[in-house]
Amino acid sequence: MKPLLGAIFLACAWTCHAEPRAIPADRLRSGIAYAGDDVRAMQADDMQNPGMLWVERGAALWSSRPDGAAHACADCHQAATASMRGVATRYPAWDADAGRVVDLEDRINGCRVQRMRAPALPRESDDLLALTTLIANASRGLPLAVDIEGPAHEAWERARTFYYARHGQMNLSCANCHEQNSGKRLLAETISQGHANAWPAYRLEWQTQGTLQRRLRACLYGIRAEMPPEGAPELVELELYLAWRGTGLPLETPGVRR
C-alpha cells in the first residue's frame, strides 16, 4: 500500500503546484534568435523597423476622439508610455464581465464600446493594430507574465490540448514543429520555438503589420487545417497558452519576422 499512497501524494502535490514549464527557462529562445542578421538588425533599429509606423499611428489615435465618442484614450489613461507600461505582459487575461479570456484587441474594443461609446474596430484593421502595437510597445523589454490560475486555468487547459493535438490534412501539431524540431531548417528558414513575445509584428511576407492570431491562422492554413475565424475563443486561448509557454521572455513589439 505504501507505493500507492506515495503515488497519490505525488499526484496531489503535482496538481497543487504551478504547472511545469513546457520549455526550461534556460532554453527559452525568442523567434528573433532564429532570424537572419538582416531581420535582427531591422527589428533592433527603430528607424528601420516598419512596425514603428503602427506605434506612431497608435499614438495619434490614442490622443484623438473617435467620431461621436465621449472620450479619447488619453483622457482616462494619460500617456500610454507610462500608464500602459506592463499591461501587455499580462495579456491574454481572464475577464469576469465577459466570462472568458480576452486578448488586448478584445480589451481595446471593450473599452471603446462600453466607455468611449465608439464602434468596435475590425480585427486586423490598421487602427486596431496601431493601438495594440502602441500598448504592447509600452512594455517592450518587460517579461511575459500571464496568469493561468483561477478561472483562466480551464482556458489554458483547452489551449494546451489544442497545442499538442494533431490537425489538418498534414496531421501535425504545433509541438511537432516548435518543440520537436525547433532549430532545424525548413527550406530556407529555421524553425523557431514559436513564442508570442514579438506580436503584433511586421512580417516581411505580408509586407504589413499583423497580429499573433493572423500568424496562427496562417500556420493552420499551412497544415491544411480548419481555421477558426478571427477573434475566436480558441485562438484567444491559444494566445494565452503561448504567452505562458514563453514566460520570462521580454516583449519585443513591434517584432520583425520573415
pLDDT of residue 17 exceeding 70: no
Query: Residues 58, 72: contact at Cβ < 8 Å?
Result: no
Q: What is the pLDDT, as a whole number, of residue 222?
A: 94
Q: Is the pTM of this model over 0.75?
A: yes
What average pLDDT score do residues 208-230 get? 96
For domain 25-257, the CATH class is mainly alpha
Burial 232-248 (b: 16+ CB within 10 A, else e): eeebbbbbbbbbbbbbe
Query: Residues 178, 192: contact at Cβ < 8 Å?
Result: yes
Q: Are strands 201-203 and 208-210 parallel, antiparallel or unpaired?
A: antiparallel
- For the chain, the domains span 25-257
Cis, peptide link before residue 92, omega less than 30° from 0: yes
Mean of pLDDT over the chain = 91
Closest CA to 163 of 11, 12, 23: 23
Is 76 among the catalytic positions? no
| pLDDT more than 90, % of the chain | 86
- DSSP H helical segments within the chain, as ranges? 2-16, 37-44, 52-62, 73-77, 80-83, 104-111, 126-137, 152-164, 174-178, 212-222, 233-245
Higher pLDDT, 1 or 202: 202
Q: What is the pLDDT, as a whole number, of residue 21?
A: 75
Question: Band of the pLDDT at 19, cuts 50, 70, 90?
Answer: low
Grid cell 484593421 in the structure block, residue: 125
| Chain segment 53-87, per-residue pLDDT in tens | 999 999 999 999 998 888 899 999 999 999 999 99
Given 73, 174, 177, 219, which residue is catalytic? 219
pLDDT of residue 15 exceeding 50: no
Give the cell for residue 212. 499573433
CA gap 116, 61 in Å, rounded: 13
Give the cell for residue 252. 519585443
